[in-house]
Structure 1
Amino acid sequence: MKRILGGLLALPFSVLAAEPLATGAAAAAPVVVAGTGVGAQLTQLVLGLLLVLGLIFALAWLLRRVQQTGARQGGQVIELISSRALGARDRLVLVQVGNEQILLGLTPGRITPLHVLKEPVPVPQGAPAATSEFAKRLMDVLGQQKDKP
């Protein structure tokens, strides 16, 4: 198994090493290089693709790990309490900053504070976190796909 894996990994480099040097009489002699057929090129292409894909997944995993550790260190002082769509691009958002709750109006080009609540709206402890309609529909679709065999 180790020999096969080592041979597959060394294949791209063996093509480079098999190229003859252009010197005197050696350049005139025909050189037959083994393993330069279509199968060897296809193997080299697949291995290169797998290497690039593995590198992408490894970097994505590393980035996710770094972002999670950064989020744990800093405490969240701004929390989204509720969100309501008013139109296609306009929303009302209730956020809590410390002990204050602020009602914000969101439009594509502006965030407008509408009202600072004197008495915060009580939020039940078991209440689900506010999510967008797209996220809810996506979760519904994923839930339906899990139910199907």
Structure 2
Amino acid sequence: MHRHIVAGLALLPLSALAAEPAAVAPVAGSGMAAQLGQLALGLLLVVGLIFLLAWLLRRVQQLSPRGGQVIKLVSSQSLGPRDRLVLVQVGSEQILLGLSTGSITPLHVLKEPVQVPDSQAASPEFAQRLMELLGKDKH
């Protein structure tokens, strides 16, 4: 007889625990939805903050004077996949530099500055440069 009572007592907490998750399940589901909503809202706030900071950075960069730069890139010519010739102007001097992987070598200081037309500016628009690299620019 004691065995039946012990077995009955052992099953009593299991039945009570089995009934408890059914009562908690709807609350957990609504809690999960609230957590997902908070997560989505937090994610939107972070993404919005990133866009706001990017916009502010562009505005601040536009306000800085560009004409006051001491070093200017006059022209650039690719010699291969990793080698370039670059003509830079520092003050009133123009210097021809050789750029390769991990090194910059001054090649020549020009006695007379080279005048480059605006159409051959050193930094072309991204789309034009991309088309040149892809070989689709038929000049």
Name the TM-score, length of structure 1 as normaliser: 0.58
Aligned residue in 1 for 2:4 = none
Q: Does 2:69 correspond to 1:76?
A: yes
Aligned residue in 2 for 1:65 = 59
Name the TM-score, length of structure 2 as normaliser: 0.61
Q: Does 2:106 correspond to 1:113?
A: yes
Computed over aligned residues only, the root mean square deviation of the Cα atoms, in angstroms, reads 3.4
SS state at 1:41 partner: helix
Distance in 2 of aligned mates of 1:88 and 1:133: 20
Letter in 2 for 1:131: S
Distance in 1 of aligned mates of 2:102 and 2:76: 18
Paired positions, count = 110
Which structure carries more helix by proportion? 2
Letter in 1 for 2:46: V
Q: Does 2:123 correspond to 1:131?
A: yes
> What runs of 5+ residues in structure 1 fail to find an aligned partner?
1-29, 142-149
Following superposition, the deviation at residue 123 of structure 1 comes to 1.9
Bigger Rg, which one: 2
Distance in 2 of aligned mates of 1:53 and 1:139: 34
Distance in 1 of aligned mates of 2:119 and 2:66: 25
